[in-house]
Structure 1
Amino acid sequence: MSDQRGRDTRQELRRMALVASPAPAAQAAEAELRARYEFTMVDDADVVIALGGDGFMLQTLHGMLDRHRVRPVFGMNLGTVGFLMNEWRLDALSDRLARARSFSVAPLRMDAETIDGERFASPAINEVSLLRETRQTAWVEVSVDGRVVLPELVCDGVLVATAAGSTAYNLSAQGPILPLGSGLVALTPISAFRPRRWRGAILPETARVSFRVIDPVKRPVSAVADQREIRDVSVVQISMDRSIALTLMFDPEHALDDRITMEQFAV
């Protein structure tokens, strides 16, 4: 995370763009908003309104990264969980934007090489995960900053999560919740068989994590950066990309930092 606290967004954001997921509820909400407010194209906007769930929010942010036209995003939940979204309301949109708190998010960068020597790079806002492709468990060598810390991790997979993503897949894999501004990332195994007692690690966000797949032909592994999958990887390197900053906007009463904190008390 590149911003430790949500900051008040007091300047008036005049030009709004609107994007919506294909889900019927999001499409209906889009029609209502367009009937009430004026919107422009994403590249011409000061802020983007995104309608959908967390998956659509990640899709929206990745779309802006692909076009190198980053804009603040105010999401409204018309999906299932909506952890990265605000409550859906039609009224007082301009007032909500004027009062919103903004959080700047630095994504991870995944550099992956396949068994055929192909190379891929992709950002990840929530996490980068390695997952076995077959019934065979994955065998992975884990290094941190060039030092081998686990010569052989036998597992269903392993992931590196940001603070913003620590309450998503990372949490379901029994990984730690990381407060915003902690300057940390989570390294979490997925159903580790060996070492049996290893439950993961918390690392500084400056750390560079490397995974080398042991016997990737017999035990194939895929690498997933949020929603982008690269199959049959042999080596994956992950680091925080400080050259990019994405901004998420939240109603003050439902700000991201408070949500992440309160997740630690969810039962």
Structure 2
Amino acid sequence: MLKFLFVIKKNLEIPSVIKELEKKKEIKLIPVKNISKLKKEEIKNLTGILVLGGDGTFLRAVPYAYKYDLPILGVNKGRFGFLTEVSLNELPQVISAIRNNSLPLKERTLLKIHYNKQTFVALNEAAILKGPAGRLIYLELKINKKNLTTIYGDGIIIATPTGSTAYNVSAGGPIIHPEAKVFVCTPICSFKINLRPFIIPDNYHIEINLKEIKEEIHLLIDGQINISFKDGHLIYIQKAEKTLKFFPSLEKDYFYILKEKFDW
């Protein structure tokens, strides 16, 4: 029997396909909120984290996956489902492939964000955004400790290749294949019209500081964590030491999903 931590979209009923897999004792689902009740050996013997929902639900599971070094099996029951690429119809076949060790894991690069003595990881992006007052914010950007530019505008997005199809692409940034070893820095509504999105190697370090804090400013991590930015605090962003591992779809590759989700 394969044992998974379980993360489900709010107010979503468990589908009959999953209930049948549980009934046949092919899988056992443990709500992620109960992880503190598990012993170290029990966590070590977990197959992974089964996520049922959309991309937002998938992103909720990322910190657990990183902390406990568990792969994610994302099953799509959301609106967009770029990250949750396994369909309910193919789930029994995917479970069988995992049990037979015939489904190789894939990996994605993560961001590590340091702010005010706290550390976070992100699969998609870290975004520094202005608050509701609507005035320009001024961000000093350093790459590998060298001053690059000051951004005047609504903020900046630092995205992974995985996150390039999320907030980044909505802000005019490029789509990047998830196996590329880069990050993309995308200004949001820059007052300098010649300041465009730019790509850096993912082993570079990024430092962001606010020149002036007169308005409410936020650090938004994967759309899940929202922190008010305070004067004198820097944000440091780099590649995380570990990757995110996940079980891929048996039916769809990256380009199929890209074409399907963006209607190409």
Bin for the TM-score computed over the shorter chain: 0.7 to 0.9
For residues 196-236 of structure 1, the C-alpha deviation after alignment (integer angstroms, 9 at most, x for no partner) is: 121211111011111111111x1332112211122124421
Counterpart in the other structure of 2:108: 105
Corresponding position: 1:38 with 2:34: no
Equivalent position to 1:228, from 217, 225, 228:
225
Counterpart in the other structure of 1:19: 6
Mapping of residues 5-154 of structure 1, within 5 Å: 14-28=1-15, 30-36=18-24, 37-39=26-28, 41=30, 43=43, 44-65=45-66, 68-85=67-84, 86-89=86-89, 91-97=92-98, 98=100, 99-113=102-116, 119-133=117-131, 134-150=133-149, 152-154=150-152
Q: Displacement of 1:51 after TM fit?
A: 0.8
Describe the SS at the equivalent of 1:160: strand
Find the aligned partners of 2:15 and 2:169 in 1 and give their Cα distance: 32
For residues 136-165 of structure 1, the C-alpha deviation after alignment (integer angstroms, 9 at most, x for no partner) is: 221111111111111x21111101111111
The amino acid of 2:162's aligned partner reads A
Equivalent position to 2:167, from 169, 190, 194:
169
Contact 2:216-2:229 within 8 A present in 1 as well: yes
For residues 239-262 of structure 1, the C-alpha deviation after alignment (integer angstroms, 9 at most, x for no partner) is: 101x212211112331346535x4
Give the TM-score taking structure 1 as reference length. 0.81
Give the TM-score taking structure 2 as reference length. 0.82
Unaligned ranges ≥5, structure 1? 1-13, 114-118
RMSD: 2.4
For residues 21-44 of structure 1, the C-alpha deviation after alignment (integer angstroms, 9 at most, x for no partner) is: 243445345545433433154723
Tell me the percent identity.
22
Residue-pair matches, total: 242
Distance 1:229 1:156, change over 3 A: same
Find the aligned partners of 1:47 and 1:87 in 2 and give their Cα distance: 17
Find the aligned partners of 1:253 and 1:18 in 2 and give their Cα distance: 24
Describe the SS at the equivalent of 2:28: coil
